[in-house]
Structure 1
Amino acid sequence: MQTYIIIPVHNRKTLTLACLANLKTNGYLPKYHVIVVDDGSNDGTTEEVHEVYPEVIVLKGDGNLWWTGAIALGMQYAYEQGATHFIWLNDDCLTTPETLDLLIDFLQSNPNSIVGASCYAEDSGLLIETGVKGRVRIKALEHEVADVDGLSGYCVAMPVSIFKKIGLPDARKFRQYAGDGMYTLKAARAGFKVCILGKAKVTLVEEKDPIHNFSNYLQKKNNRNFKSIFWDYKSPYHLPTQFYYHTYKYGTLIGFPLFTAKLLSWLVRFYG
Protein backbone atom coordinates (compact mmCIF):
# COMPACT_ATOMS: atom_id res chain seq x y z
CA MET A 1 0.00 0.00 0.00
CA GLN A 2 1.37 3.40 -1.02
CA THR A 3 -0.31 6.37 0.66
CA TYR A 4 0.61 9.93 -0.37
CA ILE A 5 -0.27 12.93 1.79
CA ILE A 6 -0.69 16.04 -0.37
CA ILE A 7 -0.27 19.42 1.35
CA PRO A 8 -0.90 22.57 -0.75
CA VAL A 9 0.95 25.63 0.60
CA HIS A 10 1.58 29.28 -0.21
CA ASN A 11 3.54 31.73 1.94
CA ARG A 12 2.61 30.15 5.27
CA LYS A 13 6.02 28.79 6.24
CA THR A 14 5.32 28.72 9.97
CA LEU A 15 2.07 26.80 9.52
CA THR A 16 3.62 24.46 6.95
CA LEU A 17 6.55 23.57 9.20
CA ALA A 18 4.23 23.08 12.18
CA CYS A 19 2.08 20.73 10.09
CA LEU A 20 5.13 18.68 9.10
CA ALA A 21 6.38 18.64 12.69
CA ASN A 22 3.00 17.31 13.76
CA LEU A 23 3.16 14.55 11.12
CA LYS A 24 6.67 13.63 12.29
CA THR A 25 5.62 13.56 15.96
CA ASN A 26 2.71 11.30 15.10
CA GLY A 27 4.95 8.91 13.17
CA TYR A 28 3.54 9.62 9.72
CA LEU A 29 6.65 10.95 7.94
CA PRO A 30 8.36 7.55 7.77
CA LYS A 31 5.07 5.70 7.31
CA TYR A 32 3.51 7.65 4.44
CA HIS A 33 4.88 9.62 1.51
CA VAL A 34 4.44 13.37 2.03
CA ILE A 35 4.18 15.88 -0.82
CA VAL A 36 4.27 19.61 -0.21
CA VAL A 37 3.03 21.53 -3.25
CA ASP A 38 4.52 25.00 -2.88
CA ASP A 39 2.63 27.33 -5.19
CA GLY A 40 5.07 30.18 -5.65
CA SER A 41 5.92 30.99 -2.03
CA ASN A 42 8.51 33.74 -1.56
CA ASP A 43 8.95 33.30 2.20
CA GLY A 44 11.52 30.50 2.02
CA THR A 45 9.03 27.67 2.49
CA THR A 46 10.64 25.30 0.00
CA GLU A 47 14.16 25.90 1.28
CA GLU A 48 13.20 25.28 4.91
CA VAL A 49 11.22 22.16 4.09
CA HIS A 50 14.18 20.77 2.16
CA GLU A 51 16.53 21.58 5.05
CA VAL A 52 14.42 20.35 7.97
CA TYR A 53 12.49 17.53 6.27
CA PRO A 54 14.62 16.17 3.40
CA GLU A 55 12.35 13.13 3.14
CA VAL A 56 9.41 15.32 2.09
CA ILE A 57 8.79 15.70 -1.64
CA VAL A 58 8.37 19.33 -2.75
CA LEU A 59 6.62 20.18 -6.00
CA LYS A 60 6.76 23.78 -7.19
CA GLY A 61 4.11 26.02 -8.73
CA ASP A 62 4.40 29.57 -10.05
CA GLY A 63 1.58 31.04 -7.93
CA ASN A 64 -1.20 30.18 -10.37
CA LEU A 65 -2.09 26.71 -9.10
CA TRP A 66 -4.19 27.86 -6.14
CA TRP A 67 -5.61 25.17 -3.85
CA THR A 68 -7.25 22.95 -6.43
CA GLY A 69 -4.39 23.08 -8.91
CA ALA A 70 -1.91 22.24 -6.17
CA ILE A 71 -3.99 19.25 -5.07
CA ALA A 72 -4.34 18.10 -8.69
CA LEU A 73 -0.58 18.37 -9.29
CA GLY A 74 0.10 16.36 -6.13
CA MET A 75 -2.43 13.68 -7.07
CA GLN A 76 -1.02 13.34 -10.58
CA TYR A 77 2.53 13.01 -9.26
CA ALA A 78 1.50 10.48 -6.60
CA TYR A 79 -0.41 8.42 -9.16
CA GLU A 80 2.66 8.29 -11.39
CA GLN A 81 4.69 7.01 -8.41
CA GLY A 82 2.25 4.13 -7.85
CA ALA A 83 -0.02 5.58 -5.15
CA THR A 84 -2.84 3.42 -3.88
CA HIS A 85 -4.36 6.15 -1.65
CA PHE A 86 -4.32 9.93 -1.48
CA ILE A 87 -4.78 12.11 1.60
CA TRP A 88 -5.50 15.81 1.16
CA LEU A 89 -4.23 17.77 4.16
CA ASN A 90 -4.31 21.54 4.65
CA ASP A 91 -1.25 22.91 6.42
CA ASP A 92 -3.38 24.58 9.11
CA CYS A 93 -4.72 21.21 10.25
CA LEU A 94 -3.01 19.14 12.96
CA THR A 95 -3.84 15.47 13.24
CA THR A 96 -3.99 13.21 16.27
CA PRO A 97 -1.64 10.19 16.30
CA GLU A 98 -4.53 7.99 15.11
CA THR A 99 -6.26 10.21 12.55
CA LEU A 100 -4.65 9.21 9.26
CA ASP A 101 -4.47 5.53 10.16
CA LEU A 102 -8.18 5.60 11.01
CA LEU A 103 -8.98 7.10 7.61
CA ILE A 104 -6.90 4.54 5.73
CA ASP A 105 -8.31 1.66 7.80
CA PHE A 106 -11.81 2.89 6.96
CA LEU A 107 -10.94 2.84 3.25
CA GLN A 108 -9.58 -0.68 3.58
CA SER A 109 -12.98 -1.78 4.89
CA ASN A 110 -14.94 0.54 2.56
CA PRO A 111 -12.86 0.68 -0.63
CA ASN A 112 -15.39 2.61 -2.74
CA SER A 113 -15.37 5.62 -0.43
CA ILE A 114 -14.00 9.07 0.23
CA VAL A 115 -13.68 9.82 3.93
CA GLY A 116 -12.96 13.05 5.76
CA ALA A 117 -11.80 13.67 9.32
CA SER A 118 -13.88 15.66 11.78
CA CYS A 119 -12.43 19.12 12.35
CA TYR A 120 -12.26 21.09 15.59
CA ALA A 121 -11.41 24.79 15.94
CA GLU A 122 -8.33 25.30 18.12
CA ASP A 123 -9.52 28.53 19.74
CA SER A 124 -13.01 27.38 20.73
CA GLY A 125 -12.77 23.58 20.61
CA LEU A 126 -16.02 23.56 18.62
CA LEU A 127 -16.70 20.91 15.99
CA ILE A 128 -16.81 22.47 12.52
CA GLU A 129 -19.28 21.48 9.80
CA THR A 130 -17.08 20.03 7.07
CA GLY A 131 -19.65 18.17 5.00
CA VAL A 132 -22.71 19.05 2.94
CA LYS A 133 -25.77 16.99 2.10
CA GLY A 134 -27.98 18.83 -0.33
CA ARG A 135 -28.00 22.36 1.11
CA VAL A 136 -27.51 21.28 4.74
CA ARG A 137 -24.06 21.56 6.34
CA ILE A 138 -23.03 18.42 8.26
CA LYS A 139 -20.60 17.48 11.04
CA ALA A 140 -19.86 14.12 12.67
CA LEU A 141 -19.62 13.53 16.40
CA GLU A 142 -16.96 11.16 17.73
CA HIS A 143 -19.15 8.06 17.56
CA GLU A 144 -20.69 8.90 14.17
CA VAL A 145 -20.04 8.24 10.51
CA ALA A 146 -21.97 10.94 8.66
CA ASP A 147 -22.95 10.36 5.04
CA VAL A 148 -22.57 13.48 2.87
CA ASP A 149 -22.38 14.36 -0.80
CA GLY A 150 -19.61 16.94 -0.49
CA LEU A 151 -16.59 17.49 1.77
CA SER A 152 -14.34 20.39 2.69
CA GLY A 153 -10.73 19.51 1.94
CA TYR A 154 -9.17 19.94 5.40
CA CYS A 155 -8.21 16.27 5.76
CA VAL A 156 -9.70 13.84 3.24
CA ALA A 157 -8.61 10.35 2.18
CA MET A 158 -9.52 8.40 -0.94
CA PRO A 159 -8.37 5.39 -2.95
CA VAL A 160 -6.67 5.76 -6.33
CA SER A 161 -9.71 4.10 -7.95
CA ILE A 162 -11.55 7.43 -7.66
CA PHE A 163 -8.84 9.19 -9.65
CA LYS A 164 -9.00 6.44 -12.28
CA LYS A 165 -12.77 6.82 -12.62
CA ILE A 166 -13.37 10.60 -12.45
CA GLY A 167 -9.93 12.12 -13.01
CA LEU A 168 -8.50 15.13 -11.18
CA PRO A 169 -10.27 17.99 -9.41
CA ASP A 170 -11.31 20.78 -11.81
CA ALA A 171 -8.68 23.47 -11.27
CA ARG A 172 -9.99 25.62 -14.13
CA LYS A 173 -13.51 26.23 -12.82
CA PHE A 174 -12.76 25.93 -9.09
CA ARG A 175 -9.28 27.32 -8.51
CA GLN A 176 -9.44 28.20 -4.83
CA TYR A 177 -12.96 27.56 -3.53
CA ALA A 178 -15.35 24.64 -4.16
CA GLY A 179 -12.72 22.41 -5.79
CA ASP A 180 -12.93 20.04 -2.83
CA GLY A 181 -16.72 19.99 -2.57
CA MET A 182 -17.30 19.64 -6.31
CA TYR A 183 -14.78 16.81 -6.63
CA THR A 184 -16.30 14.85 -3.78
CA LEU A 185 -19.79 15.53 -5.15
CA LYS A 186 -18.63 14.24 -8.54
CA ALA A 187 -17.35 11.11 -6.82
CA ALA A 188 -20.66 10.67 -5.00
CA ARG A 189 -22.53 10.93 -8.31
CA ALA A 190 -20.15 8.35 -9.77
CA GLY A 191 -21.25 5.86 -7.09
CA PHE A 192 -18.67 6.36 -4.34
CA LYS A 193 -19.65 6.68 -0.69
CA VAL A 194 -18.67 10.07 0.80
CA CYS A 195 -18.62 10.48 4.57
CA ILE A 196 -17.07 12.04 7.68
CA LEU A 197 -15.48 9.71 10.23
CA GLY A 198 -16.12 11.28 13.62
CA LYS A 199 -13.37 9.49 15.53
CA ALA A 200 -10.70 10.68 13.07
CA LYS A 201 -9.92 14.20 14.28
CA VAL A 202 -7.93 17.22 13.19
CA THR A 203 -7.50 20.59 14.88
CA LEU A 204 -7.84 23.71 12.75
CA VAL A 205 -5.24 26.21 13.98
CA GLU A 206 -5.90 29.02 11.49
CA GLU A 207 -9.03 31.11 12.02
CA LYS A 208 -11.29 31.03 8.95
CA ASP A 209 -13.34 33.85 7.50
CA PRO A 210 -17.11 33.30 7.95
CA ILE A 211 -17.50 32.51 4.26
CA HIS A 212 -21.01 31.09 4.54
CA ASN A 213 -22.45 34.44 5.65
CA PHE A 214 -22.02 37.23 3.12
CA SER A 215 -22.69 40.09 5.55
CA ASN A 216 -20.15 38.74 8.06
CA TYR A 217 -17.64 38.26 5.27
CA LEU A 218 -18.05 41.89 4.20
CA GLN A 219 -17.46 43.05 7.76
CA LYS A 220 -14.21 41.08 7.92
CA LYS A 221 -12.86 42.51 4.65
CA ASN A 222 -10.58 45.53 4.83
CA ASN A 223 -10.70 46.10 1.07
CA ARG A 224 -14.35 46.12 0.04
CA ASN A 225 -14.34 47.04 -3.65
CA PHE A 226 -16.30 45.10 -6.25
CA LYS A 227 -13.22 43.38 -7.68
CA SER A 228 -11.95 42.11 -4.32
CA ILE A 229 -15.35 40.63 -3.40
CA PHE A 230 -16.63 39.30 -6.72
CA TRP A 231 -13.69 38.96 -9.09
CA ASP A 232 -10.78 37.76 -6.97
CA TYR A 233 -9.93 34.07 -6.64
CA LYS A 234 -9.16 34.69 -2.96
CA SER A 235 -12.82 35.52 -2.37
CA PRO A 236 -15.39 32.75 -1.77
CA TYR A 237 -17.84 34.97 -3.69
CA HIS A 238 -15.78 34.96 -6.90
CA LEU A 239 -18.61 35.07 -9.43
CA PRO A 240 -17.40 32.58 -12.07
CA THR A 241 -16.71 30.03 -9.32
CA GLN A 242 -20.15 30.63 -7.81
CA PHE A 243 -21.78 30.28 -11.24
CA TYR A 244 -20.02 26.98 -11.97
CA TYR A 245 -20.79 25.75 -8.45
CA HIS A 246 -24.52 26.38 -8.66
CA THR A 247 -25.01 25.09 -12.19
CA TYR A 248 -22.99 21.92 -11.56
CA LYS A 249 -24.52 21.10 -8.21
CA TYR A 250 -28.16 21.87 -9.05
CA GLY A 251 -28.22 21.67 -12.85
CA THR A 252 -28.72 24.63 -15.16
CA LEU A 253 -32.51 24.87 -14.81
CA ILE A 254 -32.33 25.27 -11.03
CA GLY A 255 -28.75 26.39 -10.57
CA PHE A 256 -28.83 29.43 -12.84
CA PRO A 257 -31.92 31.02 -11.22
CA LEU A 258 -30.52 30.19 -7.78
CA PHE A 259 -27.19 31.80 -8.66
CA THR A 260 -28.99 34.85 -10.04
CA ALA A 261 -31.10 35.24 -6.91
CA LYS A 262 -28.04 34.96 -4.67
CA LEU A 263 -26.13 37.45 -6.79
CA LEU A 264 -28.92 40.01 -6.51
CA SER A 265 -29.01 39.47 -2.75
CA TRP A 266 -25.24 39.94 -2.48
CA LEU A 267 -25.34 43.09 -4.60
CA VAL A 268 -28.09 44.62 -2.49
CA ARG A 269 -26.05 44.07 0.66
CA PHE A 270 -22.82 45.14 -0.99
CA TYR A 271 -24.20 48.48 -2.17
CA GLY A 272 -26.63 48.93 0.75
Structure 2
Amino acid sequence: MINIVIPVHNRREYTRQCLACLAAQTYRNVKVIVVDDGSTDGTDLMIEEEFPNVVVLKGDGNLWWTEATNWGIRYVQKSQDKRQENFVLTLNDDTRVAPDYLQTMLDAYRKHKPCLIGSPSVDSDNPDKLEYAGAVFELYTAGGHHLSEDYHSSYRELATRTSFLESHSLPGRGTLIPMEVFDKIGLYDSKNYIHYMSDIEFSVRARKAGYRLIVNVPSVVYEYVQATGIQVEKQISLRDFIKGFTSIKSPTNLKVRYRFAIDHSKTKVLYFCFDVARICTGFLLRKVRIMKPL
Protein backbone atom coordinates (compact mmCIF):
# COMPACT_ATOMS: atom_id res chain seq x y z
CA MET A 1 0.00 0.00 0.00
CA ILE A 2 1.11 3.55 -0.74
CA ASN A 3 0.28 5.89 2.15
CA ILE A 4 0.36 9.49 0.93
CA VAL A 5 1.18 12.02 3.66
CA ILE A 6 0.30 15.65 2.89
CA PRO A 7 0.82 18.47 5.43
CA VAL A 8 -1.55 21.41 4.82
CA HIS A 9 -2.29 24.81 6.33
CA ASN A 10 -4.91 27.25 5.00
CA ARG A 11 -4.59 26.37 1.31
CA ARG A 12 -7.99 24.82 0.70
CA GLU A 13 -8.03 25.21 -3.08
CA TYR A 14 -4.54 23.78 -3.52
CA THR A 15 -5.47 20.91 -1.23
CA ARG A 16 -8.70 20.27 -3.16
CA GLN A 17 -7.02 19.96 -6.53
CA CYS A 18 -4.16 17.86 -5.15
CA LEU A 19 -6.63 15.40 -3.62
CA ALA A 20 -8.61 15.33 -6.87
CA CYS A 21 -5.47 14.26 -8.72
CA LEU A 22 -4.84 11.49 -6.21
CA ALA A 23 -8.45 10.28 -6.45
CA ALA A 24 -7.93 9.79 -10.20
CA GLN A 25 -4.88 7.51 -9.88
CA THR A 26 -4.80 4.26 -11.84
CA TYR A 27 -3.03 2.55 -8.92
CA ARG A 28 -5.72 2.02 -6.28
CA ASN A 29 -4.05 0.47 -3.21
CA VAL A 30 -3.72 3.88 -1.63
CA LYS A 31 -4.48 5.66 1.61
CA VAL A 32 -4.29 9.46 1.78
CA ILE A 33 -3.43 11.09 5.13
CA VAL A 34 -3.80 14.86 5.33
CA VAL A 35 -2.23 16.51 8.37
CA ASP A 36 -4.23 19.72 8.71
CA ASP A 37 -2.07 21.90 10.92
CA GLY A 38 -4.58 24.37 12.33
CA SER A 39 -6.27 25.55 9.11
CA THR A 40 -9.03 28.13 9.59
CA ASP A 41 -10.25 28.26 5.98
CA GLY A 42 -12.53 25.23 6.08
CA THR A 43 -10.00 22.77 4.67
CA ASP A 44 -11.16 20.02 7.03
CA LEU A 45 -14.84 20.46 6.11
CA MET A 46 -14.02 20.45 2.39
CA ILE A 47 -12.14 17.16 2.76
CA GLU A 48 -14.92 15.61 4.83
CA GLU A 49 -17.54 16.55 2.22
CA GLU A 50 -15.61 15.90 -1.01
CA PHE A 51 -13.02 13.24 -0.08
CA PRO A 52 -14.59 11.17 2.72
CA ASN A 53 -12.00 8.37 2.41
CA VAL A 54 -9.12 10.71 3.23
CA VAL A 55 -7.79 10.46 6.79
CA VAL A 56 -7.46 13.89 8.44
CA LEU A 57 -5.14 14.42 11.42
CA LYS A 58 -5.55 17.83 13.05
CA GLY A 59 -2.69 19.87 14.51
CA ASP A 60 -2.74 23.20 16.33
CA GLY A 61 -0.76 25.25 13.80
CA ASN A 62 2.66 24.65 15.33
CA LEU A 63 3.75 21.46 13.57
CA TRP A 64 5.25 22.97 10.42
CA TRP A 65 6.23 20.62 7.58
CA THR A 66 8.52 18.29 9.46
CA GLU A 67 6.46 17.32 12.49
CA ALA A 68 3.25 17.31 10.45
CA THR A 69 4.87 14.75 8.14
CA ASN A 70 6.05 12.74 11.15
CA TRP A 71 2.46 12.65 12.44
CA GLY A 72 1.38 11.06 9.19
CA ILE A 73 4.22 8.53 9.25
CA ARG A 74 3.45 7.53 12.85
CA TYR A 75 -0.17 6.99 11.87
CA VAL A 76 0.96 4.66 9.10
CA GLN A 77 3.33 2.80 11.40
CA LYS A 78 0.49 2.08 13.81
CA SER A 79 -2.15 1.17 11.23
CA GLN A 80 -0.19 -0.60 8.46
CA ASP A 81 -0.89 -4.18 7.44
CA LYS A 82 2.55 -5.75 7.64
CA ARG A 83 1.47 -8.68 5.48
CA GLN A 84 1.84 -6.41 2.43
CA GLU A 85 4.51 -4.08 1.06
CA ASN A 86 4.04 -0.59 2.54
CA PHE A 87 5.31 2.82 1.52
CA VAL A 88 4.99 6.46 2.51
CA LEU A 89 4.79 9.00 -0.28
CA THR A 90 5.49 12.53 0.98
CA LEU A 91 3.76 15.20 -1.07
CA ASN A 92 2.92 18.89 -0.85
CA ASP A 93 -0.55 20.23 -1.57
CA ASP A 94 0.67 22.88 -4.06
CA THR A 95 1.21 20.19 -6.69
CA ARG A 96 -0.69 18.15 -9.23
CA VAL A 97 0.18 14.83 -10.83
CA ALA A 98 -0.95 12.69 -13.78
CA PRO A 99 -3.25 9.66 -13.25
CA ASP A 100 -0.36 7.19 -13.71
CA TYR A 101 1.93 8.98 -11.23
CA LEU A 102 1.76 6.41 -8.41
CA GLN A 103 2.12 3.47 -10.79
CA THR A 104 5.26 4.94 -12.35
CA MET A 105 6.73 5.55 -8.89
CA LEU A 106 6.06 1.97 -7.83
CA ASP A 107 7.45 0.56 -11.09
CA ALA A 108 10.63 2.57 -10.61
CA TYR A 109 11.02 1.34 -7.04
CA ARG A 110 10.79 -2.29 -8.14
CA LYS A 111 13.40 -1.67 -10.82
CA HIS A 112 15.97 0.11 -8.62
CA LYS A 113 15.39 -1.15 -5.05
CA PRO A 114 16.63 -0.81 -2.37
CA CYS A 115 16.00 2.88 -2.91
CA LEU A 116 13.87 5.95 -2.40
CA ILE A 117 12.12 7.27 -5.51
CA GLY A 118 11.88 11.02 -6.08
CA SER A 119 10.05 13.10 -8.66
CA PRO A 120 11.27 15.71 -11.09
CA SER A 121 9.21 18.87 -10.77
CA VAL A 122 8.19 21.37 -13.42
CA ASP A 123 6.48 24.75 -13.34
CA SER A 124 2.74 24.10 -13.52
CA ASP A 125 2.31 27.21 -15.68
CA ASN A 126 5.20 26.23 -17.98
CA PRO A 127 5.49 22.43 -17.98
CA ASP A 128 8.73 22.34 -19.96
CA LYS A 129 10.50 24.44 -17.32
CA LEU A 130 12.37 21.92 -15.20
CA GLU A 131 12.50 23.13 -11.60
CA TYR A 132 14.14 20.06 -10.05
CA ALA A 133 15.71 16.81 -11.22
CA GLY A 134 18.06 15.91 -8.39
CA ALA A 135 21.32 17.32 -7.07
CA VAL A 136 24.95 16.35 -6.63
CA PHE A 137 27.20 17.82 -3.96
CA GLU A 138 30.27 17.14 -1.90
CA LEU A 139 30.49 17.55 1.85
CA TYR A 140 33.82 19.37 2.14
CA THR A 141 33.35 22.81 0.54
CA ALA A 142 29.58 22.80 -0.17
CA GLY A 143 30.21 22.43 -3.88
CA GLY A 144 27.71 20.89 -6.26
CA HIS A 145 24.89 21.71 -8.64
CA HIS A 146 21.29 20.95 -9.55
CA LEU A 147 21.03 18.24 -12.19
CA SER A 148 18.37 20.26 -14.03
CA GLU A 149 21.23 22.49 -15.22
CA ASP A 150 22.64 19.56 -17.20
CA TYR A 151 19.45 19.54 -19.25
CA HIS A 152 19.14 23.31 -19.71
CA SER A 153 16.20 23.30 -17.27
CA SER A 154 14.06 21.63 -19.94
CA TYR A 155 11.87 18.68 -18.99
CA ARG A 156 11.52 17.79 -22.66
CA GLU A 157 15.28 17.46 -23.01
CA LEU A 158 15.54 15.45 -19.80
CA ALA A 159 12.82 13.02 -20.89
CA THR A 160 14.42 12.42 -24.29
CA ARG A 161 17.85 11.69 -22.80
CA THR A 162 17.18 9.44 -19.79
CA SER A 163 14.50 7.68 -17.77
CA PHE A 164 16.09 8.23 -14.34
CA LEU A 165 18.83 10.10 -12.50
CA GLU A 166 20.70 9.24 -9.33
CA SER A 167 20.74 12.08 -6.81
CA HIS A 168 22.60 12.86 -3.59
CA SER A 169 19.40 14.07 -1.91
CA LEU A 170 15.63 14.18 -2.44
CA PRO A 171 12.98 16.75 -1.43
CA GLY A 172 9.69 15.95 0.27
CA ARG A 173 7.74 17.07 -2.79
CA GLY A 174 6.99 13.64 -4.22
CA THR A 175 9.24 10.99 -2.65
CA LEU A 176 8.29 7.33 -2.26
CA ILE A 177 9.84 5.74 0.84
CA PRO A 178 9.62 2.05 1.89
CA MET A 179 8.50 1.75 5.50
CA GLU A 180 11.65 -0.19 6.35
CA VAL A 181 13.66 3.02 5.91
CA PHE A 182 11.94 4.63 8.91
CA ASP A 183 12.64 1.51 10.98
CA LYS A 184 16.30 1.73 10.03
CA ILE A 185 17.11 5.46 10.27
CA GLY A 186 14.19 7.00 12.17
CA LEU A 187 11.76 9.76 11.21
CA TYR A 188 12.39 13.32 10.01
CA ASP A 189 14.35 15.44 12.49
CA SER A 190 11.73 17.94 13.68
CA LYS A 191 13.94 19.26 16.47
CA ASN A 192 16.71 20.68 14.29
CA TYR A 193 14.88 21.04 10.94
CA ILE A 194 11.46 22.47 11.73
CA HIS A 195 10.34 23.25 8.19
CA TYR A 196 13.07 23.40 5.54
CA MET A 197 15.88 20.91 4.88
CA SER A 198 14.42 18.10 6.99
CA ASP A 199 13.61 16.27 3.74
CA ILE A 200 17.15 16.80 2.41
CA GLU A 201 18.68 15.74 5.72
CA PHE A 202 16.49 12.63 5.88
CA SER A 203 17.43 11.56 2.36
CA VAL A 204 21.14 12.09 3.10
CA ARG A 205 20.77 9.77 6.10
CA ALA A 206 19.00 7.23 3.90
CA ARG A 207 21.78 7.36 1.33
CA LYS A 208 24.39 6.86 4.05
CA ALA A 209 22.40 3.80 5.16
CA GLY A 210 22.77 2.26 1.70
CA TYR A 211 19.62 3.33 -0.15
CA ARG A 212 19.92 4.73 -3.65
CA LEU A 213 18.15 8.04 -4.29
CA ILE A 214 16.50 7.83 -7.70
CA VAL A 215 14.68 10.60 -9.56
CA ASN A 216 12.25 8.80 -11.88
CA VAL A 217 11.80 11.03 -14.92
CA PRO A 218 8.25 9.88 -15.93
CA SER A 219 6.96 10.57 -12.38
CA VAL A 220 6.72 14.30 -12.90
CA VAL A 221 5.18 16.66 -10.34
CA TYR A 222 3.60 19.90 -11.56
CA GLU A 223 4.55 22.51 -9.00
CA TYR A 224 2.81 25.82 -8.29
CA VAL A 225 6.09 27.66 -7.92
CA GLN A 226 4.71 30.90 -6.50
CA ALA A 227 2.98 29.03 -3.67
CA THR A 228 6.22 27.91 -2.05
CA GLY A 229 8.14 29.78 0.66
CA ILE A 230 10.90 32.34 0.25
CA GLN A 231 12.40 31.97 -3.22
CA VAL A 232 16.13 32.49 -2.80
CA GLU A 233 16.82 31.94 -6.49
CA LYS A 234 14.27 34.50 -7.62
CA GLN A 235 14.57 38.28 -7.83
CA ILE A 236 14.18 39.21 -4.18
CA SER A 237 15.27 42.35 -2.36
CA LEU A 238 18.33 42.59 -0.13
CA ARG A 239 16.01 43.02 2.83
CA ASP A 240 14.13 39.79 2.03
CA PHE A 241 17.40 37.99 1.39
CA ILE A 242 18.73 38.94 4.84
CA LYS A 243 15.37 38.08 6.41
CA GLY A 244 15.76 34.59 4.99
CA PHE A 245 18.71 33.94 7.31
CA THR A 246 16.34 33.74 10.30
CA SER A 247 12.96 32.83 8.78
CA ILE A 248 11.51 29.37 9.45
CA LYS A 249 10.06 29.53 5.93
CA SER A 250 13.46 30.01 4.31
CA PRO A 251 15.86 27.35 3.00
CA THR A 252 18.74 29.74 3.82
CA ASN A 253 17.99 29.82 7.56
CA LEU A 254 21.48 29.94 9.07
CA LYS A 255 20.64 27.86 12.13
CA VAL A 256 19.39 25.06 9.90
CA ARG A 257 22.36 25.29 7.51
CA TYR A 258 24.75 25.17 10.47
CA ARG A 259 23.00 22.11 11.90
CA PHE A 260 23.29 20.30 8.57
CA ALA A 261 27.00 21.16 8.38
CA ILE A 262 27.62 19.75 11.84
CA ASP A 263 25.51 16.64 11.23
CA HIS A 264 26.73 15.64 7.78
CA SER A 265 29.69 17.56 6.40
CA LYS A 266 33.29 16.44 6.50
CA THR A 267 34.64 19.84 7.55
CA LYS A 268 31.87 21.06 9.91
CA VAL A 269 32.24 24.84 10.51
CA LEU A 270 34.38 25.29 7.40
CA TYR A 271 31.64 23.71 5.30
CA PHE A 272 29.10 26.07 6.87
CA CYS A 273 31.27 29.09 5.96
CA PHE A 274 31.61 27.89 2.37
CA ASP A 275 27.86 27.24 2.24
CA VAL A 276 26.96 30.76 3.41
CA ALA A 277 29.53 32.26 1.04
CA ARG A 278 28.01 30.30 -1.85
CA ILE A 279 24.50 31.54 -0.98
CA CYS A 280 25.63 35.17 -0.74
CA THR A 281 27.67 34.97 -3.93
CA GLY A 282 24.70 33.54 -5.79
CA PHE A 283 22.48 36.39 -4.60
CA LEU A 284 25.03 39.02 -5.64
CA LEU A 285 25.54 37.47 -9.07
CA ARG A 286 21.80 37.46 -9.71
CA LYS A 287 21.66 41.14 -8.73
CA VAL A 288 24.53 41.96 -11.10
CA ARG A 289 22.78 40.19 -13.99
CA ILE A 290 19.61 42.19 -13.33
CA MET A 291 21.53 45.47 -13.27
CA LYS A 292 23.41 44.81 -16.53
CA PRO A 293 22.14 46.99 -19.41
CA LEU A 294 20.58 45.16 -22.35
Contact 2:87 2:176 in 1 (8 A): yes
Alignment correspondent of 2:170: 151
- The 1:102–1:258 alpha-carbon spacing in structure 2 relative to 1, beyond 3 Å, is same
Q: Does 1:92 align with 2:110?
A: no
Alignment correspondent of 1:178: 197
- The 1:263–1:149 alpha-carbon spacing in structure 2 relative to 1, beyond 3 Å, is closer
Alignment correspondent of 1:113: 115
Residues 121-136 of structure 1 mapped to structure 2, 5 A cutoff? 121-125=123-127, 126-134=129-137, 135-136=144-145
- The 1:266–1:206 alpha-carbon spacing in structure 2 relative to 1, beyond 3 Å, is closer
Q: 1:245 aligns with which of 260, 263, 275?
A: 260
Report the number of matched residues: 262
| Structure 1 residue 197 displacement after superposition | 0.4
Q: Does 1:41 align with 2:61?
A: no
d(CA) in 2 for partners of 1:93 and 1:216? 23
Q: TM-score when scaled to structure 2? A: 0.80
3-state DSSP of counterpart to 1:35? strand
d(CA) in 2 for partners of 1:56 and 1:103? 21
Alignment correspondent of 2:184: 165
d(CA) in 1 for partners of 2:42 and 2:115? 37
d(CA) in 2 for partners of 1:120 and 1:266? 22
Where structure 1 has 5 or more consecutive residues not aligned to the other structure, the ranges are none
Alignment correspondent of 1:256: 272
Contact 1:117 1:200 in 2 (8 A): yes
**Alpha-carbon RMSD:** 2.6
| Structure 1 residue 150 displacement after superposition | 0.4
Q: Does 1:19 align with 2:14?
A: no
For 1:115, give the aligned amino acid: I
Residues 210-229 of structure 1 mapped to structure 2, 5 A cutoff? 211-213=231-233, 216-218=235-237, 224=240, 228-229=243-244
Contact 1:93 1:155 in 2 (8 A): no
3-state DSSP of counterpart to 1:244? helix
- The 1:50–1:185 alpha-carbon spacing in structure 2 relative to 1, beyond 3 Å, is same
d(CA) in 1 for partners of 2:229 and 2:163? 27
Contact 1:243 1:259 in 2 (8 A): no
d(CA) in 2 for partners of 1:76 and 1:49? 21
d(CA) in 1 for partners of 2:9 and 2:279? 30
Contact 1:8 1:70 in 2 (8 A): yes
Question: Percent identity, aligned pairs only?
Answer: 29
d(CA) in 1 for partners of 2:256 and 2:117? 24
| Structure 1 residue 238 displacement after superposition | 1.9
| Structure 1 residue 200 displacement after superposition | 1.3
Contact 1:210 1:216 in 2 (8 A): no
d(CA) in 2 for partners of 1:211 and 1:247? 25
Q: What are the superposed Cα offsets for residues 66-87 of structure 1, whole Å, 9 maximum, x if unpaired?
A: 1111111111111111161110
Where structure 2 has 5 or more consecutive residues not aligned to the other structure, the ranges are 138-143, 149-154, 286-294
Contact 2:122 2:132 in 1 (8 A): no
Contact 1:99 1:117 in 2 (8 A): no
For 2:42, give the aligned amino acid: G
d(CA) in 1 for partners of 2:205 and 2:15? 29
d(CA) in 1 for partners of 2:195 and 2:229? 14
